[in-house]
Structure 1
Amino acid sequence: MKTIFNLAFILFLSISFQSCNLLSAAGITSQGQPTKKVENGLTSTTANSKVNIDHSQWDGLLKKYVKDEGNVNYKGFKKDEAKLDAYLKMLSEKNPSNDWSVQELLAYYINLYNAATVKLIVENYPLKSIKDIDGAWTKGRVAVGDKMLSLGGIENGILRKMNEPRIHFAINCASISCPKLLDEAYTAAKINEQLDHVTKEFINSDKNDISSNNPKVSSIFDWYAKDYKINGKQDVIGFINNYSKVKINPNATLSYKNYDWNLNDQK
């Protein structure tokens, strides 16, 4: 009986451990990463952080291999993979903490997500879609200190917990329907202006068909609806109207466009 009990206990621990790993990979937990919240609006500054990260390596690669419309030269990145690896290694060794400002943390994790996504594509290139890669968002593949984070973990377990919905227009999933990859690195010194820029650009782009009474918008506004708030309450239309040139009737019903998961590769 004691042997059966011990085996059952070991099995329970094994299942629990696997479940914790799956929860972390899916982005339910932050795996101990700091998740400071933006309070009372975000401002751009480097003055309130113990650490200021130099993202110039990533900035140079983006300026070299990303077009204005956001398409990515993955063949070029593949030739410069050593530089991409060096940047990711540098980020891994920084090990973020609560001594960092919310501005530094946002810039760090957005750049980490985007650089790791490019790395994932480069490793599997050529391919038609990121969805062809097994566990693209759920496998732990991004080193931060002694932790291996998943892309889903960075997005859902860290960035989405920071009370800044504009991150959805800054992180890029290497697909046609995604917000475009910005051709410069995010930095604490410019983070608010950069997030404003990419949000306005995405909302007013052809990724949405915005009209007053029959708006058809990106599925991003459906998947992450609870993140878009006005005065603390979920209000997707109100959020869009803060940035859209065409204002949506508050009583309109949103419909959602099909998502194109084909690779955002340069032709």
Structure 2
Amino acid sequence: MKYITIVLLVLLTASCVGGGDLYYDTLEKGQEIPSENGQLDHSKWDAILKEYVNSEGFVDYVGLKEEQAELKEYLSYLNENVPQKSWSINEQFAYYINLYNANTVDLILMNDLPASIKDIDGPLGQVWLKKFAQVGDKEYSLAAIEKNVLQKMGDARIHFAINCASFSCPKLQNTAFTAANVDALMDKSAKEFVNSEKNDLSDPQNPKLSSIFDFYPEDFTQNGMTLAQFINQYADSQIAEKDSYSYKDYDWSLNSQK
């Protein structure tokens, strides 16, 4: 009976995620993302980020609440510009990262700045399954954008580019992603996160890693890489190869400015 309950829960969760109808391309193995100019205008989101997000990635939600109409205008712009097959993969990465981050910020504002994003209800009690991010004539959950689009596009750095409004998340960059900067900005996000206090690399033989590396192990070990090899691309202090690592507890408290 317990096995049947678990299977039903997994199937129900999978059915709640959705997002399979959103268009995206995938990277070929080892493919690099070239820098190129795109056609979408993310300047409104960029202005919001520069005004209300500090260099540490903490958000002035109280101040932004007064300007929520500007955020809504940007979300409407994304809603009206549905990803197309003609878009470059750079354009797609930038679109979906900004879609995830802007909707997460809006979700916090719509729910009156909860102590944690996990305090917001959703299907099966999971906020990640709550469908509210509109693209075209449909609504999608954060899980749909992350798991059924961004993860499948094939670049693990997206885990450092998207922000879940929590202290232990990679910081929310105060620059919007664009087709021109998405590769460099994902690289910057990865380097900042790996070398931040979210990981403890002070003992290279026994590092204590962010739980993000435990949440998505397959993403960080694709293309034949070990976890240590992936991290060492960005780490100032190289960590040792190990069969298993220790992981830090995840702090889900809101990433708000004091």
- Alignment TM-score > 0.5, same fold: yes
Larger Rg: 1
Q: Does 1:250 align with 2:241?
A: yes
1:59 counterpart SS class? helix
Task: Quote how far apart the aligned CAs of 1:35 are.
Answer: 2.2
1:32-71 Cα shifts (integer Å, max 9, x gaps):
1122112311122126xxxx11000000000000000111
The question of whether the paired residues in 1 share the 8 Å contact of 2:24 and 2:83 is answered with: no
1:260 counterpart SS class? coil
Q: Does 1:161 align with 2:148?
A: no
Equivalent of 1:89 in 71, 76, 84? 76
1:118-133 to 2 correspondence within 5 Å? 118-133=105-120
Task: Quote how far apart the aligned CAs of 1:20 are.
Answer: 8.4
Give the whole-Å Cα distance in 2 for the aligned partners of 1:180 and 1:126.
Answer: 18
Query: Which residue of structure 2 aligns with residue 218 of structure 1?
Result: 210
Structure 1: state its 5+ residue gaps: 1-18
2:134 counterpart SS class? strand
Task: Quote how far apart the aligned CAs of 1:24 are.
Answer: 4.8
Task: Quote how far apart the aligned CAs of 1:126 are.
Answer: 3.0
Task: Quote how far apart the aligned CAs of 1:215 are.
Answer: 0.7
Q: Does 1:46 align with 2:43?
A: no
The question of whether the paired residues in 2 share the 8 Å contact of 1:58 and 1:84 is answered with: yes
Give the whole-Å Cα distance in 1 for the aligned partners of 2:12 and 2:250.
Answer: 29
Task: Quote how far apart the aligned CAs of 1:72 are.
Answer: 0.3
Structure 1 residues 24 and 77: alpha-carbon distance in aligned structure 2, compared to 1, 3 A threshold:
farther
Task: Quote how far apart the aligned CAs of 1:21 are.
Answer: 7.9
Q: Does 1:229 align with 2:216?
A: no
1:27-38 to 2 correspondence within 5 Å? 29-38=18-27
Equivalent of 1:98 in 85, 93, 99? 85
Query: Which residue of structure 1 aligns with residue 53 of structure 2?
Result: 66
Task: Tell me which amino acid in the other structure corresponds to 1:223.
Answer: F
1:129-140 to 2 correspondence within 5 Å? 129-135=116-122, 136-140=127-131
Structure 1 residues 173 and 67: alpha-carbon distance in aligned structure 2, compared to 1, 3 A threshold:
same
Normalising by structure 1, what TM-score?
0.87
Give the whole-Å Cα distance in 1 for the aligned partners of 2:193 and 2:245.
Answer: 17
Structure 1 residues 44 and 229: alpha-carbon distance in aligned structure 2, compared to 1, 3 A threshold:
farther
RMSD: 1.8
Query: Which residue of structure 2 aligns with residue 144 of structure 1?
Result: 135
Give the whole-Å Cα distance in 2 for the aligned partners of 1:169 and 1:77.
Answer: 23
Matched residue count: 243
Task: Quote how far apart the aligned CAs of 1:25 are.
Answer: 3.3
Stretches of 4+ aligned residues off by more than 2 angstroms: 19-26
Query: Which residue of structure 1 aligns with residue 6 of structure 2?
Result: none
Task: Tell me which amino acid in the other structure corresponds to 1:113.
Answer: Y
Give me the identity figure in percent.
48
Give the whole-Å Cα distance in 2 for the aligned partners of 1:215 and 1:252.
Answer: 12
Task: Tell me which amino acid in the other structure corresponds to 2:22.
Answer: Q
Normalising by structure 2, what TM-score?
0.90
1:218-239 Cα shifts (integer Å, max 9, x gaps):
0000000100136x12521110
